[in-house]
Amino acid sequence: MRHIAQSLVGLIITLLVVSFVIFLVMEAVPGDPAEIILGMSAAPDTLAALRSQLGLDQPFLVRYSNWLIGLLQGDLGDSYTYSTSVSQLIGERLEVTLPLTGLAALLSVLISVPLGVLAAARPNGLVDMFASLFSQIGIAVPNFWVGLLLILGVALTFGWFPAGGFPGWDAGFWSALNALILPSIALAIPQAAVLTRVTRAAVIEVTNEDFVRTARAKGATPSHALWRHIVPNAMIPIVTMLGMQISVLIAGAVLVENVFTLPGMGTLAYQALAQRDLIVIQNVVLFFAAIVMGINFLVDALYTVLDPRLRVRR
Amino acid sequence: MKRLPWSLIVGGTITAILIFAAIVSQFWTPVDPTAINIGNRLKGPGEGGILGSDHFGRDELSMIMAGAWVSLGIAFSAIAVGGLIGTVLGVVAASERGPFEALIMRVNDVLFAFPPVLSAILLAAILGGGPVTTIVAIALFMIPVFARVTRSAALQIWARDYILAARMSGKSSARITLEHVIPNIAAQIIVQIAIQTGLGILTEAGLSFLGLGIAPPTPSWGRMLADAQTYLTIAPHLVFVPGIAICTAVLGLNLLGDGLRDLTDPRRRQST
């Protein structure tokens, strides 16, 4: 428990530093938000009025702390270009990005864990050869290229899934889910490749431990030893990798959403950049960074659940 | 004579071809990679150059060669900056320990929270897209990667007896780092350089695909794919050619990294 409390404090401090860095960077962006909203031809007094309405005339630290207070209250301010609040905007976009990345993470685990375990059960066997081929190629393919290939080879050829766009969850659960299938496969394949490798290595390492020999000596069948003794003990590196890969998954979502024209968080950040909607960029980037750090914290906390030995040691 | 790992041979060959193509592209390409030839628009492989031509009639093979120069240049620059800073932070953290180490690792956590695409979007808001934005965004992410690898490798060296002997003989920790730690972790750093160059190429392609990378008309693999998206059904070869180039390059560098690791790490050699 002490370890978890410590890393929670660390998480909060890191989050504060990250938010400060982002705020500092946005401060360095050339151009005046009031001018971005009203356009170049706006009268100087109108600009000044808007600036004071947005609180832009206040000192740096006051604006920074106002932003933090707003964050805690769930009020992220209003978008410069969309006539809606940033929190509502993020909420809408999360309806796409959250299921997309969640589905991709799930798919990658469903592919990689069985493949990695079976590969490790018989090193240099047929499955192992296939697994190492899959992971070598999978790590090297860009997810947005997999997306393009899926559009070309599946969506446009067979028409089972849409080639892009998102009908929204109001259009029905299945048609919305259908629009996310190909993007999540594109996102999952490079992920699964990395995880397959980690799973195989972790399982092989645990297989060589003494307690596995003991279990086998006591009469456990190979498959019983594998699934009941080896795999649970190999989960730590797998979960660690999955946690570390969250940042890759989020970065990948920006690209894959772009390929499939999905209205998710990545597209939001990208469009906000094109429209110089700084307040959206600032909040979306912080949101992404917070998710990466939050997941890493959870993974760290999960260790103590997965491996009782760590509870004593730390 | 030891047998070289096959991954080293295959990976080394692919990487050598990649570097060779990139260098040659600076002197010679079959056609000028930026030359527009509307009469030769969207030709398939064989009919308009060996690998076909794009929507401006530009020669795909020439663009791939010139793109290799851009990809490698950006990946190497990012590694030169991020890898160097990360390595220095890692070895210093391992030699100083204490609050300084904790601070460095904390900074790493902050940097690690920004995948290159995110920092590129932030940087592009200030600088606009371009090579500098791309290099800095990738380099920022490389810092924690290299710092973690070198720190844990250096910590293992610091626990050895010969370090104790060096200390007894009165060497300062800076001297021990330079004379004993760095030479002993150099192999692991080189392995990382190979693997991270592959990741750098992937990231560069992604950023160019989003339009945050190098500006047209300089050819770039990522932007070739972005352009290909418009002509997906009419000219599918435009999707295959740059994609296969990216894949092969990254695969080659990864294999090279694996091969170097097998060659330099005796424990791994026995287990495989």
Which of A10, A248, A270 lies closest to B210 in CB terms?
Answer: A270
pLDDT digits (tens, 9 = 90+) for A1-60: 677 787 888 888 888 888 998 888 888 777 777 777 777 777 788 778 877 777 777 788
pLDDT attached to residue B73: 92
The amino acid sitting at B128 is G
User: What ipTM did this prediction achieve?
Assistant: 0.87
In a domain? residue B235: yes
Which of B117, B126, B225 lies closest to A145 in CB terms?
Answer: B225
Q: How far apart are CA A252 and CA A143, in angstroms?
A: 7
What is the CB neighbour count within 10 angstroms for residue B6? Answer: 12
Q: Which one is predicted more confidently, B134 or B263?
A: B134
Over 60: is that where the pLDDT of B270 sits?
A: no
pLDDT attached to residue A309: 65
Q: Say whether residue B244 is in contact with chain A using an 8 A CB cutoff.
A: no
Whether A297 and A7 have beta carbons less than 8 Å apart is answered as yes
Q: Say whether residue B122 is in contact with chain A using an 8 A CB cutoff.
A: yes
Q: How many domains does chain B have?
A: 1
Residue B170: which CATH number? 1.10.3720.10
pLDDT attached to residue B259: 87
pLDDT digits (tens, 9 = 90+) for A95-129: 899 999 999 999 999 999 999 999 988 888 899 99
In a domain? residue B50: no
In a domain? residue B138: yes
Q: What is the DSSP letter of A228?
A: I
Q: Say whether residue A74 is in contact with chain B using an 8 A CB cutoff.
A: no
- Residue A313 tokens read as 């040691």
In a domain? residue B40: no
Cβ contacts of A248 on chain B, cutoff 8 Å = 115
For chain A, domains (ranges, CATH) are 2-72 (no CATH), 94-306 (1.10.3720.10)
pLDDT attached to residue A30: 75
The amino acid sitting at B39 is G
Distant-in-sequence, close-in-space partners of A228: CB < 8 Å, separation ≥ 6: A220
In a domain? residue B14: yes
Q: Which domain holds residue B233?
A: 6-25+57-271
Q: Say whether residue B174 is in contact with chain A using an 8 A CB cutoff.
A: no
Mean pLDDT value of segment B172-200: 88
Q: How far apart are CA B172 and CA B162, in angstroms?
A: 14
Q: How far apart are CA A30 and CA A7, in angstroms?
A: 37
Minimal CA separation from A11 to chain B, in Å: 9
Q: Say whether residue B3 is in contact with chain A using an 8 A CB cutoff.
A: no
Of A132-146, A203-217, B38-52, B182-196, give the lowest mean pLDDT range.
B38-52
Best A273, A297, A299 member to test B by mutation, with max B CBs in 10 Å, is: A273
Q: What is the DSSP letter of B249?
A: H
pLDDT digits (tens, 9 = 90+) for B116-136: 888 888 888 888 778 888 999
